[in-house]
Amino acid sequence: MIGSGTLPDTTEQADLREMVREIIERGAPPQRVRELDDANAFDLELYRALGEAGLIGLDAQADGTSGADPRLQIIVLEELAAGPTSMAVCLVVQYMGVGLLTEYGSDQQRSTVLAPLLDGSERVAFALTEPDGGTDVARVMRTRAKKSDGGRWVLNGAKTWISGPQHARNLIVLARTSTPESSPIDGITMFVVPTDTPGITVRELDTFAIHSLDTCEVTFDNVEIDASAVLGHVDQGFRQVLGTLNGERLNAAAAALGIARGALEAAVDYGRQRQVFGRPVGSFQAGQHRLVDGAIAIESARALMLQAAEATATGKRADILSAMAKVAASDAAVAVTDAGMRLMGGSGFSKEYPMERLFRDARLYTFAPLTNEMLRNHIGEKYLGLPRSF
Ligand SMILES: Cc1cc2nc3c(=O)[nH]c(=O)nc-3n(C[C@H](O)[C@H](O)[C@H](O)COP(=O)(O)OP(=O)(O)OC[C@H]3O[C@@H](n4cnc5c(N)ncnc54)[C@H](O)[C@@H]3O)c2cc1C
């Protein structure tokens, strides 16, 4: 690996990184990643291997007594994103599910939904974004759940751009349950709903990238769910999610960082081998400097990410650092994949090399789970102390 020796991993972290690399080497070599990307297919075998190795649960417990260590999650995500990137995106969602169910799940939800999630036998999808908007989703949320006379809930509405619902056993769905005057983020409830509940329709969307994980529209047509499907507290769902978004941003940073590193490795490899004017193309200063800038962007993002992970793990304030890490890592991923495409000339366009896929996949984390513009708004307000810009 380029930059070897610069990683400040502890022994436990280094062992974990090595384990993930071995699983990828065995189960997801570049040719397989490419074939599955071309076929828009999910790598169930790889997911099972990750589950069997304990990498979905890490140290989270199904009884909710302990959550997962963010310092370990980011290692798994970085390594996956550098290779089978779509699997990293899948795990960002699974880790979000683990966090929400560990913190808010009832005993029943922990045994029926969290336990099979931790051992990798089932997956969840997280459905928040709606057709009318993702950034301002609380204000525009049209998905509603109404309580029937029998105490059951009836869910109607639509979610869009949802990762992985085709193969997920359960959906975590946010729906408006009341319209209090206090704030649009109040009056929203989280539900855990099996994807095969009558009235749920999942339609795959044709997207630009992350082809080995389905991105879908999910519609709810008079979907009847039990009162026990509420995750956490009625009307408090959005606030509960806000509490876990810090972890999701941190994990998005790790995935973006992995994409950037994977692209840098591919570019350096190509730059050493390809001869132009009788010299390796990586020896020309114009291209080499772009890659060096990429390396600096990666290590700067890593420093922010590690600080954010440490703050999260030790219960310190982490929202600003996580936001900075996510912006820095996703900007690095865009810059490095661009530099890689330039260095590789026509080969960058070819599917023979991973660069064109990484170039596409890198775009996701510029706007998901929250756009970099909104994260900059957050940093402007919370770090700089400037008036709210939106
Ligand atoms: C492949 C993929 C997977 C996804 N997976 C999931 C998932 O699993 N679950 C889920 O719930 N969602 C998911 N999403 C949705 C994603 O979180 C949203 O796309 C994202 O939050 C942005 O919302 P939007 O697309 O509606 O953009 P909009 O909210 O319409 O924003 C459009 C533009 O306006 C800008 N903008 C908006 N408000 C402001 C402001 N105040 N200041 C400055 N700029 C602003 C935004 O930054 C952006 O550039 C996924 C999306 C994709 C494409």
State pLDDT tens for residues 101-119.
Answer: 999 999 999 999 999 999 9
Domain 11-123 fold is Butyryl-Coa Dehydrogenase, subunit A; domain 1 (1.10.540)
- What is the band of 355 on the pLDDT scale with cuts at 50, 70, 90? very high
State pLDDT tens for residues 24-43.
Answer: 999 999 999 999 999 999 99
CA of 78 to the centre of ligand 1 (A): 22
What single string gives the DSSP state of each residue in 353-367?
Answer: STHHHHHHHTTHHHH
Would you state the pLDDT for residue 18?
97
Q: Are 274 and 348 spatial neighbours (Cβ–Cβ below 8 Å)?
A: no
Pairing of strands 170-176, 275-276: unpaired
Domain 239-382 fold is Butyryl-CoA Dehydrogenase, subunit A; domain 3 (1.20.140)
Per-domain boundaries in the chain: 11-123, 126-238, 239-382
Query: What is the separation of C-alpha 316 from the centre of its chain, rounded to a whole number of angstroms?
Result: 22
Tell whether ligand 1 has an atom less than 6 A from the beta carbon of residue 366: no
What residue's CA is closest to ligand 1, atom 2?
161
Give Dmax (Cα) for the chain.
80
More confident residue, 72 or 148: 72
Helix then strand then coil, in percent of the chain rounded to 5, is: 55, 15, 30
Helix (H) or strand (E) holding 197: none
Would you state the pLDDT for residue 38?
98
Query: Mean of the per-residue pLDDT values for the chain?
Result: 96
Q: Which amino acid is at 43?
A: D
Would you state the pLDDT for residue 244?
86
State pLDDT tens for residues 244-281.
Answer: 888 999 999 999 999 999 999 999 999 999 999 999 99
Q: Are 354 and 34 spatial neighbours (Cβ–Cβ below 8 Å)?
A: yes
Q: What angle do CA 378, 384, 387 make, to 5 degrees?
A: 70
Query: What is the separation of C-alpha 161 from the centre of its chain, rounded to a whole number of angstroms?
Result: 13
Q: Which amino acid is at 119?
A: D
State pLDDT tens for residues 206-242.
Answer: 999 999 999 999 999 999 999 999 999 999 999 999 9
Nearest atom in ligand 1 to 373's CA: 47
Tell whether ligand 1 has an atom less than 6 A from the beta carbon of residue 161: yes
Would you state the pLDDT for residue 4?
65
CA of 314 to the centre of ligand 1 (A): 30
What's the rounded mean pLDDT across residues 130-149? 95
Percentage of the chain beyond pLDDT 90 is 93
Q: How far is residue 20 from each of residues 15, 26, 54, 349, measured CA to CA in Å?
A: 9, 10, 11, 29
Mutate to test the pocket of ligand 1, among 95, 161, 238 (most ligand atoms within 8 A of CB): 161
Tell whether ligand 1 has an atom less than 6 A from the beta carbon of residue 162: yes
What's the rounded mean pLDDT across residues 163-181? 96
Cβ atoms < 10 Å from Cβ of 279: 10
CATH number at 126-238: 2.40.110.10
Would you state the pLDDT for residue 64?
83
Residue 6 has pLDDT above 80, yes or no: no
